[in-house]
Amino acid sequence: MKKEKKQFPYNAKTTVGVTGVTVISIIASAFMSNYFLLYLTDYANLGILGATIAPVILLVGRIVDAVNDPLQGWIMDSAKPRKFGKYRFFTLISLILTAIGICLLYSIPNAIKTSAVMLFIWVLFFYLIYDIGASFFAIAPMIQTFGSNHVHRSKLMMYQRLLAVVLGAIFSMFMLMVNAVNTKVGNFGKSFSLTAAMVIIVSFVISFACLMMFKEGGNHEEEAKSQEKDKIGLKDLKAVFTKNKAFSVHFIGQICRGMVFALSGVAGIYYMKWAYCADLATGVVDAGKFATYSAMGAIGSMLPMMISAMLSPALAKKLGSSVKLLNLGCYITLVSNLGLFILQIMGILPMSFWINFSITFIYSFGNGLCFVPAQTMWIECIDYNKHVSGKGMGGVISTLGTFLGKAQAAIGTLLTGLVLAGVGYVVDSATGNYAGDLSQIPSMLTWFMVASGLVPAIFAALAIVVYRFYPVNVVKEMEQANQ
């Protein structure tokens, strides 16, 4: 007997499309989380100027975001439904802006570098182009239009997480790719920019193709009539914060939870470079060793994330709710981050890459457990908003979630930048070797571990406390009522 084909939105084409469209978002986020500050300080040959500009740019970006992200969310929610799909249309805009922003942000012309003012304008402009594009990436409200099936949502989020892990493993080879390009180019700065552009262009092509593979759910004609009759206003935006308890708790919880990931990642790559890949007596970096350790470290982080992502739907079902699984992940990250900090203070961590690798593996498993429930809960927030006010406000809720991620990445970069500025961090962009005061490196490593170990542990503990107030019972009642 011929097996019956699954219908939208449960068909394979939709699943592949919804998963694959996230490629450029994942890669762009990886660039901004791991390489924005490193590119400016080490490969754009800006040194302390780069360490100073990056935090200022990110601060300005967050000030703009505080107004711009809710505005972009309101624009998406207020836009007229169309056959192509309201949120799908804005996601297309997101892909284009993200590709342009990242390519030019990591390709600063030498002529621009001669003027601090022009340099600041260039970096700020293309950072904001990327930033606006990231806010228009409306994957959560698109999935919400597919219906309220919790299992289906969890599976889609799991596939996205697995893709992120696979891409992360591939992206971990980025410095190896830069080294390969550099054998032909002979300049690490130019090689970095060329490799970044190639990676982003390929990512854009894949995401665009996947966006064309699926449609948006819902009845567009009925939505248009309803929206025309009851337009979205400021009171609806206010209601998201005042009436939507699920959103309020999750928003505050993600402020804490997101800081764990943001801080652990940014300083970590600097720690690896100078603790395990450099001669502290001369400042010379073993570029091959750094590329290899970066790849190994990334794979050691991605593998447990892949395992935890695959286990997440079953664990959430067994524990009874997404928030319980999220808290389990927070407990694991709390213990592992605190362990890294203690070992650094004891002088043990700098002695062995493998000790760092092992504890980071455990941390990554806990961090991976948090992704699927956290993303599923953003969609629950849209459901909850529709339950209490009659309007989903998916665009606003989605952009506010995006704002948190960008703000947290900025804070992580800011703290790292402060450490770099404090020790007079200077690196030769052509060779990648340290050109500052070598005696400051041990102190720099300790402060890196304060930023990426102790502070994240504190935020993990705060997240556990906050999520005790999440309205689990109401969310379960809504899901049962919609089935």
Condensed to tens digits (0 to 9), the pLDDT of residues 116-145 reads 899 999 999 999 999 999 989 988 888 888
Residue 133: predicted pLDDT: 94
Reported as a pLDDT band with limits 50, 70 and 90, residue 231 is low
CB 262 within 8 A of CB 412: yes
d(C-alpha 224, C-alpha 274), whole Å: 57
- Mean pLDDT calculated for residue range 171-182: 88
Residue 162: predicted pLDDT: 85
Looking at per-residue pLDDT, the higher value among 182 and 425 belongs to: 182
> Model confidence over 438-455: pLDDT tens digits?
888 888 888 888 888 998
CB 382 within 8 A of CB 230: no
d(C-alpha 429, C-alpha 23), whole Å: 29
* End-to-end CA, the chain: 29
Q: Which residues pair with 427 in a beta bridge?
A: 434
Looking at per-residue pLDDT, the higher value among 61 and 12 belongs to: 12
User: Residue 304 pLDDT more than 70?
Assistant: yes
Residue 362: predicted pLDDT: 94
Count of alpha carbons within 13 Å of 17, Cβ hemisphere only? Answer: 21
Instruction: Decide: helix, strand or coil at residue 427.
Output: strand
Q: For the beta carbon of residue 234, count every other beta carbon within 10 angstroms.
A: 8
User: Residue 220 pLDDT more than 70?
Assistant: no
Closest CA to 394 of 247, 271, 296: 247
E strand or H helix that includes residue 445: helix 441-449
- Cis peptide leading into 81, omega within 30 of 0? no
Q: Which of the 8 DSSP states describes residue 80?
A: P
Residue 1: predicted pLDDT: 47
Looking at per-residue pLDDT, the higher value among 99 and 81 belongs to: 99
Reported as a pLDDT band with limits 50, 70 and 90, residue 266 is low
User: Residue 406 pLDDT more than 70?
Assistant: yes
- Mean pLDDT calculated for residue range 417-446: 76
Residue 461: predicted pLDDT: 96
d(C-alpha 397, C-alpha 70), whole Å: 8
Residues in the chain: 483
Domains located in the chain, CATH noted: 21-218+230-482 (1.20.1250.20)
Residue 480: predicted pLDDT: 58
